[in-house]
Structure 1
Amino acid sequence: MTKKMIKLAFCLSLMMVGPAAFAQEATEEAAPKVQQTTLWQMIQQGGWAMIPLGLMSTGMVYFIVQNGLATREKVLLRPDMMPEFIMLMKDKKVLEAHALCKENETLFTYVFAAGLERCSTKGDINFSKVKEAIDEASTEEVTSYMKPIDYLSIIGATSPMLGLLGTVSGMIKAFQTIGAQGMGKPEALAGNIGEALVTTATGLIIAIPAMLFYYYFRNNFIKSCATLGRNIGALLDTLESGELPLGFEDKGE
């Protein structure tokens, strides 16, 4: 009697669980799978605005790499050459220092060479004219070096506006679709709304790193310019006094 009751209970459990399992499988098969959107599909969905945004992203990467290489302090100031320049200034070897500047052209050597060009070969040095020439050359060079840095600021300010323009374009198309087909087909609005959202996100993705790197390069370059003025001032003092500055070996290292 007990065995019959166990068999009966087992059969009833199969009758209850079986249909539920089959119903769950049928529901899973009937449910539509969420389609994964690739990066290229998102770019295509963004529409015409993705073309200028793509150019801006390429320009951003280019200027980040260029400024990262060109605005390094060891490239701009050549601190490794400071001991040699100080010894030349101590010995009043202006021509040799000018030739050394021409052989190693960078921000520091260009500005310093401009001041040395105002020195007389006879030994008479008008330091007011030398400093005037250095100020003129430094202004010229600072402007030249700041241009690639400022381009990052332009990209950071312009890309969100382009993204917003793409957003407005997508929303206009969405309202045109609503006016023509009504609200009965939401899938018809998906492309227009996707265009609006993708362009906004792309503009911000470009603008945020562009502005971060702009402030980073600008602040580093301002610091390098301040160090440039201090180094050239030390060289001119050595040229005028003929004495070595205190601790110049540490500066050269």
Structure 2
Amino acid sequence: MLLTMQTMGFFFFQEVGFDALTMWDQMGGLARAVVIILFIMSAWSIGVMIDRLLAFNAAKAQSRQFAPAVAGALREGKLDEAIKIADRYKKSHLAKVVVAGLQEFKAHQMSSEISGETIEASKRALERAEAIVHAELKRGVSSLATIGSTGPFVGLFGTVVGIVNAFKGIASEKAAGLGAVAGGISEALVTTALGLFVAIPAVMMFNYFTNKVEAFDIEMNNSSSELLDYFIKRSQAARRA
């Protein structure tokens, strides 16, 4: 008896068909719309992930080259050379911040005596540059959080639609057998799985990128503090001279 039931089940699943094309054909309009929305969300999140990974890797690699080069120029007191070095590393988050401070400092340095206003102006320039670079680094990252939080609910909506279709199948065939509900249940399972498939990587990468941006913020903060210390020491040296 058990063998007979297993054989019947095997032939039933073969007849119904649970491959992707067959399930797509069995889906209603709403379920198909849910699947399309989930694929769009997935494509968007993948695009953001690739873009941010490339941007962060480039920023990290260029910053490693920029830091020792600009430090050497500043030790020798060559502000123009330091600015030129920063201009060569366009993708470095540190270079974008440092060059803003250096340019502001140089613009206000009209005499050998460096005033407190010059230091304050350079500090404000550094803070503005940090805010701009922070926004650039976070570009698109918040959309991953949105996709991660809404993806399961979009899939759940597809699940509800699939359940409704399953009950419609029961009502139309006036039977409660597996064949009456198979199509609707397959829609429900597929959309739920797709919702989780879209949401889980988006949430994981959002957390990863958030941690990376926080690390970049700390690096920019430290660089700004070191640059301000350099300006203050230069001001003290100018006053002694």
TM-score bracket, shorter-length normalisation: 0.7 to 0.9
For residue 40 of structure 1, report the CA deviation from its aligned partner: 4.2
Cα distance in 1 between the residues matched to 2:208 and 2:195:
20
* Number of residue pairs the alignment of both structures matches: 216
Two-structure CA RMSD over aligned residues (Å)? 2.7
2:73 corresponding residue in structure 1: 88
Q: 1:86 touches 1:238 (CA, 8 Å); kept in 2?
A: no
CA separation of 1:41/1:240 partners in 2, compared to 1, >3 Å: closer, same or farther? Answer: farther
For residue 118 of structure 1, report the CA deviation from its aligned partner: 1.3
The share of aligned pairs that are identical, in percent, is 26
Cα distance in 2 between the residues matched to 1:224 and 1:159:
29
Q: 2:62 touches 2:89 (CA, 8 Å); kept in 1?
A: no
For residue 144 of structure 1, report the CA deviation from its aligned partner: 2.1
2:126 to 117, 134, 147: 134
Stretches of structure 1 that go unaligned for 5 or more consecutive residues are 1-24, 243-253
2:200 corresponding residue in structure 1: 208
Cα distance in 1 between the residues matched to 2:80 and 2:188:
64
Stretches of structure 2 that go unaligned for 5 or more consecutive residues are 235-241
2:34 corresponding residue in structure 1: 49
Q: Judge which range, 198-207 or 125-134, deviates more.
A: 125-134
1:61 corresponding residue in structure 2: 46
1:38 corresponding residue in structure 2: 19
1:103 corresponding residue in structure 2: 88
Cα distance in 1 between the residues matched to 2:154 and 2:160:
10
CA separation of 1:121/1:88 partners in 2, compared to 1, >3 Å: closer, same or farther? Answer: farther
Structure whose CA Rg is larger: 1
1:115 to 86, 95, 101: 101
Q: 1:76 touches 1:108 (CA, 8 Å); kept in 2?
A: no
Cα distance in 2 between the residues matched to 1:137 and 1:181:
67
1:9 corresponding residue in structure 2: none
Query: What is the TM-score normalised by the length of structure 2?
Result: 0.78
Cα distance in 1 between the residues matched to 2:165 and 2:18:
21
For residue 218 of structure 1, report the CA deviation from its aligned partner: 0.7
Q: 2:70 touches 2:82 (CA, 8 Å); kept in 1?
A: yes
- Pick 1 or 2: higher relative contact order, CA cutoff 8 A, min separation 6: 1
CA separation of 1:76/1:127 partners in 2, compared to 1, >3 Å: closer, same or farther? Answer: farther
CA separation of 1:91/1:207 partners in 2, compared to 1, >3 Å: closer, same or farther? Answer: same
For residue 204 of structure 1, report the CA deviation from its aligned partner: 0.8
1:238 corresponding residue in structure 2: 230
